[in-house]
Chain A
Amino acid sequence: MRRLELVKTLDPRTKLLLVVVISTLSIVVTDVLWQLGLFLFSLGLLHLGGIGPVKVFSRLRRFLVLFAAVLAIQSLFAPAGDPLLTIGSLHVITRGGLIKGASVILRMLTIISSAMLLLTSGPMRLVLGLIHLRIPYEIAFMVLLAIRFLPVLGEEVRDALTAIQLRGVRIKEIPLGQKIRVYTYIFMPVVVSALLKAKKTAVAMEARAFRAHTQRTYLDELTLGRKDYAIMAATLLTGCGLCTIYLLGR
């Protein structure tokens, strides 16, 4: 439990630095083993922050097709080393291509999963973090609303699909062509209603004096503790250190 608290109570700015350093490293290093290490490290951090590997992978699932495509393209267009699968005279999968593909995928995985670290903060703390980084509060709140309204769009689609089924449409059983017709039918109303909602919310915010002054105050406080400074320093040192070791070792 205490470990969980540690990552959760970290200042979002500290997490932002962690994310930047990890992503930079993952771009600098090209060795697969190093990249695997980085990915495992960010998984470990997420685990400490209360997002276990199972959750991470379920969120990464939606990128699966993309990963498969990257793997195939790397193998096909940048073949190297022993062929593992050959069709006719074409080396479809080669050892070298596979390794290169894996390294690109690991890089993406590392960047996405380290960015997830920001989610362990709670959206309001993230806003505070952004404001402390001198980002205007209007923009910080826009980020918050984007986080809030993306799921709303998904919800709108789900609601519309539920409503359609409740009018007797067997959405799971109808042929693909009809299914596509149903989706295009609801597309416009769903988008428009989400936009209308966003506009109403913008008005509601102004009606509660949002942007009445150039400054505003905050109920919650964000202070960089000793822990934050220690972790920031350690992150920077380790980051630079790893970079040097890696580049010298090549």
Chain B
Amino acid sequence: MSEVLAVRNLSFAYPGAEYLFERVNFDLHPGEILGVIGPSGCGKSTLALALCGIIPHSVEGNMQGDVLLLGENTRNLTVPQIATGAGIVFQDPETQLFLPQIRHELAFGPENLCLPRKEIARVIDEIASMTVMEHLLADNPNEISGGQRQLVALSAVLCMDPALLVLDEIASQLDEESTARILEVIGQLRDKGKAIVMIDHNLARLHLADRILVMGNGRIHALGYPRDILENGALLEHCFG
């Protein structure tokens, strides 16, 4: 099977700053989960932006190397075009929700993809029952808790059914019950053949990952299988003190 995502010698620096990461390389195939871990401020969120084209299109800085999504270079596509293949859930759910009702929020993506009305309604039902938030559909996204907002942001992206999902710390404000449910959903998505990049600072939540990318201090420390990484005490010690 061909890869969904191919990252080739990817480096990035914000204007006037040092490289946050240099020469990152990896491939991601359908049904694979890549976990990304590292201390705060090491560039995990920035990597996420680069994977779905927001870097270089909407964020200033110096990007070297290429990101190929479904075989196409993200440099040659617009952000909305990339979004038809790659969905991102941002770390901060506040600014990514902007419509008056949660059902509008879930409908927004499929509407942009020009899905027929009935199909949109069906997708919303399906996703809302998957993430157990049917009871919230008529609510205003401004009036729910932070954790619930993360669920809405995830559901809104899932409604677009992208081949690649980039999830940036989506469980950070969730309680145990919601976290367990989200991890279950992620497992189901993998089984459906989605390629998933899961960023988290908590190794325990990355047990689903097939491979783990360890970031820190301006470089990639390792890319390997979870068991090897977890057993590599020296590496963890080095990265997390």
**A208 on interface, CB distance cutoff 8 Å:** yes
Most buried by B among A145, A201, A210, A212: A212
**B193 on interface, CB distance cutoff 8 Å:** no
CA distance A216 to B160 in the complex (A): 14
Q: Which of B34-42, B93-101, B172-180, B220-228 is near enough to bind chain A?
A: B93-101
Determine if B83 and A208 form an interchain contact, defined as CB atoms under 8 angstroms apart: yes
Name the A residues within 8 Å of B121 (CB-CB). 219
Determine if A124 and B80 form an interchain contact, defined as CB atoms under 8 angstroms apart: no
A residues 178-207 with Cβ under 8 Å of B? 197, 200-201, 203-207
Name the A residues within 8 Å of B75 (CB-CB). none
CA distance A217 to B107 in the complex (A): 10
A58 to chain B, nearest CB (A): 21
Determine if B83 and A207 form an interchain contact, defined as CB atoms under 8 angstroms apart: yes
**A213 on interface, CB distance cutoff 8 Å:** yes
- Residue of B whose beta carbon sits closest to that of A215: B114
A41 to chain B, nearest CB (A): 29
**A211 on interface, CB distance cutoff 8 Å:** yes
Determine if A221 and B113 form an interchain contact, defined as CB atoms under 8 angstroms apart: no
Supposing A203-B79, A206-B58, A208-B83 touch, asked if A148 and B98 sit within 8 A by C-beta, the answer is yes
Determine if B100 and A206 form an interchain contact, defined as CB atoms under 8 angstroms apart: no
**A209 on interface, CB distance cutoff 8 Å:** yes
Number of A residues near B (Cβ < 8 Å) is: 26
Tell me if B's interface is mostly helix, strand, loop or mixed.
helix
Determine if A207 and B54 form an interchain contact, defined as CB atoms under 8 angstroms apart: yes
CA distance A212 to B108 in the complex (A): 12
CA distance A201 to B93 in the complex (A): 10
B218 to chain A, nearest CB (A): 25
Cβ-defined partner of B117 (8 Å) among A124, A204, A221: A221
- Residue of B whose beta carbon sits closest to that of A144: B99
B197 to chain A, nearest CB (A): 14
Supposing A204-B90, A217-B117, A219-B104 touch, asked if A210 and B112 sit within 8 A by C-beta, the answer is yes
- Residue of A whose beta carbon sits closest to that of B115: A217
Name the A residues within 8 Å of B101 (CB-CB). 124
Supposing A204-B90, A208-B157 touch, asked if A216 and B79 sit within 8 A by C-beta, the answer is no
Name the B residues within 8 Å of A209 (CB-CB). 80-81, 83-84, 109, 112-113, 160
- Residue of B whose beta carbon sits closest to that of A214: B114
Annotate A210-247 by CB proximity to B: 1 below 8 A, 0 otherwise.
11110111110100000000000000000000000000
Name the A residues within 8 Å of B54 (CB-CB). 203, 207
Name the A residues within 8 Å of B100 (CB-CB). 122-124, 148
**B156 on interface, CB distance cutoff 8 Å:** yes
CA distance A125 to B99 in the complex (A): 12
CA distance A97 to B80 in the complex (A): 58
Name the A residues within 8 Å of B95 (CB-CB). 197, 200-201, 204
**B116 on interface, CB distance cutoff 8 Å:** yes
Determine if B116 and A205 form an interchain contact, defined as CB atoms under 8 angstroms apart: no
- Residue of A whose beta carbon sits closest to that of B116: A217
**B211 on interface, CB distance cutoff 8 Å:** no
Supposing A211-B112, A216-B114, A217-B114 touch, asked if A204 and B98 sit within 8 A by C-beta, the answer is yes
Name the B residues within 8 Å of A210 (CB-CB). 80, 108, 112
**B29 on interface, CB distance cutoff 8 Å:** no
Determine if B80 and A217 form an interchain contact, defined as CB atoms under 8 angstroms apart: no
13 CB < 8 A contacts A-B: A148-B99, A197-B95, A200-B92, A205-B108, A206-B58, A206-B83, A207-B83, A209-B83, A209-B113, A210-B112, A216-B112, A217-B110, A221-B117
Q: A203-B58, A212-B84 are in contact. List 20 more A-B contacts (CB 8 A).
A: A124-B100, A148-B98, A204-B96, A204-B98, A205-B98, A206-B83, A207-B96, A209-B80, A209-B81, A209-B112, A211-B80, A211-B112, A212-B81, A216-B111, A217-B110, A217-B116, A219-B103, A219-B104, A219-B107, A219-B111
